[in-house]
Amino acid sequence: MNVQTRPTDAPAAASKLAIADGDIHPARKTTAEFFPWLAKRWQDELAGIGQRFRQPYQQGPAYPKSQPNASRRDAVPPDGHKQGSDLAFMQAQHLDPNNVALGILNPLGAGQGLQNPDFCAAMCAAANHWQIEYWTGRDARLKGSILVSYEDGPTAAAEIRKWAGNPNFAQVLMLSRTGEPMGNRRYWPIYEAAAEAALPLGVHAFGYGGQPITSTGYPSYYIEEMTGHSQCCQAGLSSMVIEGVFARFPALRLVMIEAGFAWAPSLAWRLDKTWRRLKQETPHLTRAPSEYIRDHVWWTTQPMEEPEPREHLLDTIGWIGWDRLIFATDYPHWDFDDPATALPLRLSKEQRDAFFIGNAKKVYGVA
Amino acid sequence: MTFAHPGGIDCDIHPAVPSLAALLPYLDEHWREQVIVRGMDELASISYPANAPLTARPDWKPARGPAGADLARVQREALDAFGSRMAICNCLYGVQLLFSEDMAAAFARAINDWMAREWLDREPRLRASIVIAPQSVERAVDEIERCAADPRFVQVLLLVMGDQPLGKRHYWPIYAAAERRGLAIGIHAGSAYHNPPTPVGWPSYYTEDYVAQALAFQSQLTSLVCEGVFNRYPALKVVLLESGFTWLPAHLWRLTKYWRGLRMEIPWVDRAPSDIVRSNVRLSLQPVDGPPDRDSLLRLFDHLQSDDLLLFSTDYPHWQFDGTEAIPDGLPDSLVRKIMVDNPLATYPRLAPRLAQVKETAE
C-alpha cells in the first residue's frame, strides 16, 4: 500500500515484465457521459431526486475516506477531473510504465446499489455502454465488467445475457455488501446467466447492502470499515459455498476482488470442520467446502497482506494455490499496490508468471 | 483413553442452566412472578441448537435436558478425564439476548448466584466468569463489583455479537471495573441477535452461523484495538473464547497494513495492532480450525509468532474433538506446557493463589 504524494520516475516499460491488473477503477468526468444511453426519465431522476443508496448522506460516505475520492493525490488528470476519469492520463501514469497487458475495469459509483431497482438497472446498462465507448473501445488492453443491478436477480440476468459473447467484457460485477448473503436464492439467476455466458463473477469489496459492516453493529472508523471488507467477503463466500451455489452451477467461477486473500485458508478449514460436524443440514453439498473453493474461486491480491517476515505469505499462497491469485493494483485508489514492490519474495519463474499475469489470462480467457 | 497432558487449566467449559426453573430461587419475588405469570420460555440461545451435533458431544449428551447440567458428569467428563486442576465455567444462558435491561440484569445476577452456590461451592476445581447483561453498562458494572468480592470469579463474560462493537467508549466502564478488580474480559462465541449474524445479513443455515462466529471475533478485535481500549487499560487482558485462532495471523497482517496507511485517523494507537494483541489478547485453544496436515499446522503456529497466545480449553460439552484429543498432535512440549498452565496463569491473576495453595498441600 503506497500513499503516493508525487509522481515517481517510472522506469521504461520495456524493462518490466508484462502484468495483468485485476482491479482498475475508471471514473466519468461528469455524469453526462452516461446520457447517450440513459432515457430522459432517468436523466430527470438524476437531476431531481438524485441517487439514493442505503447510506445516510446525499454525497460522500459516513466514514470519510483518508484522501479525496480515496484516491492517490497524484492521480488527478491534467484537466482536473476525477482520478481515473482520463484514459490518456491513466495510460501515461499506470498502464504504460507498469506494462499492464491486461487491465480489468471495475467501475464503482456507477449505479450499482441504487435503491430504486429500475433506476439501478438503467444506470448499470448505461455504464456498460460507456465502458465500451470510453475505455475498452479505445485501448485493447482493457476489458470491462458487466455491471448488473444485483439485488434484482432476473433483471441482472437479462443484462448479462444482453452482453454475453461481447469481447469487450471479461466478467460480471457485483459488490460484496449485498442485501442478503450472496448465496441466497434471490441471486441465483445471476449465477446461472454468468455460468451460461462463461463469464467469471467478480465480487468487489464495498457496496450498499444496508447492514452494518460488522455482525455486532456499526464501528467508529474508516480503518474498521476497510478492514471489515474481509469479514464481509468471508461471509459472502461462506454463503455461496454452504447454500450450494457451486454445487448447483458447476461452471461458475468467482473472483473475489479487493478484500485481500490471506484469510482464505483459515476460512476453508473452518468451513470444512463445521460442515463435517453439521453435515445433516446440507445434503445438497456433495463435496467438502474447501474443494468447492479450490475449484471455483480466485482472488485479486490487493490490498496484499504484509506479514513480517514476508515469507509467511508463501505458506499462505501455497495453501490457496499459486494458480488462484490475480495481481491487482486498485489504481487510482490510495491503497494502490505497486507491482514493483508488492511481493518482495523470491519466486520461481512459474510462480511469478502465474501471479502477475498467467492466472488472470486463464480466468478471463484472454490470450 | 488417558489424556497425555494432565494438570492443565481448562479455560472454557460450559455448565448449563438445566431450566429456567432452576434460577427461580435466585430471582427476587418480582422476577419470579414475571417468569410464572408470563409463562416465560427457556433463554437457551439459538447459537447452540439443543440437539445440533456441535452443541453436545454424543458421549457427553444426557438422555434428557441440556448437556453440562449435571455436576457429577462435569466432574467426571470435563475435569477427571483431562486431569484438569481447574476449569473456568462460562455459562451461556442467553440473558444478553433480552431487550429489557431490567430483566436481563435480574437474570444475570441470578445466574451468578446460581453458579456460586450450585457449582463453585460444590467443586473446588471450578472457577467462573461473571455473566453480565451489557444492555445496561451501569448495571453490568454493579454486577461486576458485586461478584468480584468472590475470588472464584476470574473473568467477565461477554458475547461476541451484541448491539455495538465492544471497543466503543460506551463499554469502557466495564473494562475499567475489570482491570481494577483483576478480572479478564472473556468474549465468547454467540450472538444477541440484535444484529444479523453476518455483516451481509441473515444466513440460511446454522453451518454459516457458526462459521461466522470467527468473523465476529475479527471485527471485535479490530474495534478493541482501533478504539484504543488497550491504551486506556494497559493491564487489561481480553480472552477470545471458542473463537478459533487460525484466522488470527492473516487478520493481523491486514489490520496492521491498514494501520500503517490510516493511523492518522486513530493516532492514539501508537503500537502496531500485532504488538497490542501479543501483549493484551489471548485465545482459547478449541476449536482448532486447522489444516488437515501436521506440517501446515506447525507452520501456522509459527505465523502466530508467540507462544503466549493460546489457553487450553476443551469447550466441554461442545463437540470439537473426540476422546481426549484436545491438543493437536506434534506441538513441542514447551508450547503445550505454556498452553496448559503458564498462559492461563499469566492471563487470570485470580487463579494464582489457588494454585499456590494446591502446591503447598502437595509439598
Question: In 3-state terms, what secondary structure has residue B305?
Answer: coil
Residues whose CB is less than 8 angstroms from the CB of residue B214 and which lie 6 or more positions away in sequence, other chains included:
A266, A267, A270, B243, B244, B247, B289
Of B53, B196, B257, the CB nearest to A303: B257
Residue of B nearest to A317 (CA): B250
Q: Which residues of A touch B214 (CB under 8 A)?
A: 266-267, 270
Rounded Cα distance between A352 and A358, Å, is 9
Per-residue CA distances from B140 to A344, B106, B113, B136, B144 (Å): 49, 11, 15, 6, 6
Interchain contact, B219 vs A221, CB within 8 Å: no
Give A175's DSSP letter: E
Residue of A227, A258, A313 to mutate for B, most B C-beta atoms under 10 A? A227
A343: confidence class by pLDDT, cuts 50, 70, 90: confident
Would you call A36 an interface residue with chain B, using a CB distance cutoff of 8 Å?
no
ipTM: 0.96
Of A1, A223, A242, the CB nearest to B265: A223
- Confidence (pLDDT) at B358: 52
- Confidence (pLDDT) at B356: 58
In angstroms, the separation between the Cα of residue B218 and the nearest Cα of chain A is 8
- Chain A with chain B: Cβ pairs closer than 8 A: 246
In angstroms, the separation between the Cα of residue A32 and the nearest Cα of chain B is 33
In angstroms, the separation between the Cα of residue A353 and the nearest Cα of chain B is 24
Question: Is the pLDDT confidence value at A14 over 90?
Answer: no
Q: Which residues of A touch B168 (CB under 8 A)?
A: 219-220
Residue of B168, B194, B211, B295 to mutate for A, most A C-beta atoms under 10 A? B211
Q: Which residues of A touch B53 (CB under 8 A)?
A: 277-278, 280
B1: confidence class by pLDDT, cuts 50, 70, 90: low
In angstroms, the separation between the Cα of residue A101 and the nearest Cα of chain B is 28
Residue of A186, A224, A284 to mutate for B, most B C-beta atoms under 10 A? A224
- Confidence (pLDDT) at B357: 59
Express each pLDDT in B125-143 by its tens digit. Answer: 999 999 999 999 999 999 9
- Confidence (pLDDT) at B352: 86
Residue of B nearest to A335 (CA): B261
Rounded Cα distance between B322 and B70, Å, is 20
Cell matching residue A196: 451460461
In angstroms, the separation between the Cα of residue A348 and the nearest Cα of chain B is 21
Q: Which residues of B touch A243 (CB under 8 A)?
A: 203-205, 208
Give the neighbor-by-neighbor strand order of the sheet with A201-204. Answer: A19-24, A100-105, A142-147, A169-175, A201-204, A254-257, A297-300, A325-326
Rounded Cα distance between B7 and B283, Å, is 19
Q: Which residues of B touch A262 (CB under 8 A)?
A: 249-250, 253-254
- Confidence (pLDDT) at A302: 94
Question: Is the pLDDT confidence value at B165 over 50?
Answer: yes
Question: Is the pLDDT confidence value at A109 over 90?
Answer: yes
Cell matching residue A317: 499462497
What mean pLDDT do residues B157-186 have? Answer: 98
Rounded Cα distance between A290 and A267, Å, is 9
Would you call A218 an interface residue with chain B, using a CB distance cutoff of 8 Å?
yes
A2: confidence class by pLDDT, cuts 50, 70, 90: very low
Express each pLDDT in B198-215 by its tens digit. Answer: 999 999 999 999 999 999
Would you call A215 an interface residue with chain B, using a CB distance cutoff of 8 Å?
yes
Q: Which residues of A touch B265 (CB under 8 A)?
A: 66, 221-223
* Residue B3 and residue B321 in contact, taking contact as beta carbons nearer than 8 Å: no
Question: Is the pLDDT confidence value at B362 over 60?
Answer: no
Interchain contact, B207 vs A179, CB within 8 Å: no
Bridge partners, B89 (sequence order) = B13, B128
Interchain contact, B199 vs A278, CB within 8 Å: no
- Confidence (pLDDT) at A5: 45
Of A183, A242, A263, the CB nearest to B247: A263
Identity (one letter) of the amino acid at B359? Answer: K
What mean pLDDT do residues A138-152 have? Answer: 98
Q: Which residues of B touch A178 (CB under 8 A)?
A: 200-201
Q: Which residues of A touch B321 (CB under 8 A)?
A: none
What mean pLDDT do residues B231-248 have? Answer: 98
Rounded to two decimals, the pTM is 0.96
Mean pLDDT, all residues of chain A: 95
Would you call A269 an interface residue with chain B, using a CB distance cutoff of 8 Å?
yes
Interchain contact, B220 vs A221, CB within 8 Å: no
- Confidence (pLDDT) at A344: 84
Rounded Cα distance between A213 and A193, Å, is 29
Q: Which candidate, B107, B100, B90, B93, places its Cα nearest to that of B31?
A: B107
Residue of B nearest to A320 (CA): B291
Question: Is the pLDDT confidence value at A309 over 70?
Answer: yes
Express each pLDDT in A161-208 by its tens digit. Answer: 999 999 999 999 999 999 999 999 999 999 999 999 999 999 999 998
- Confidence (pLDDT) at A202: 98
Question: Is the pLDDT confidence value at A11 over 50?
Answer: no
Express each pLDDT in A30-59 by its tens digit. Answer: 999 999 999 999 999 999 999 999 999 998
Torsion of CA A202, A203, A206, A207, to 10 degrees: 100
Per-residue CA distances from A99 to A12, A254, A300, A340, A341 (Å): 9, 26, 18, 11, 15
Express each pLDDT in A72-90 by its tens digit. Answer: 999 999 999 999 999 999 9
Q: Which candidate, B139, B137, B204, places its Cα nearest to that of B171?
A: B137
B292: confidence class by pLDDT, cuts 50, 70, 90: confident
Mean pLDDT, all residues of chain B: 96
Residues whose CB is less than 8 angstroms from the CB of residue B208 and which lie 6 or more positions away in sequence, other chains included:
A181, A235, A238, A239, A242, A243, B198
Contact residues, A window 66-85, toward B, CB-based 8 Å cutoff: 66
* Residue B230 and residue B280 in contact, taking contact as beta carbons nearer than 8 Å: yes
In angstroms, the separation between the Cα of residue B243 and the nearest Cα of chain A is 11
* Residue B9 and residue B87 in contact, taking contact as beta carbons nearer than 8 Å: yes
Rounded Cα distance between A318 and A265, Å, is 10
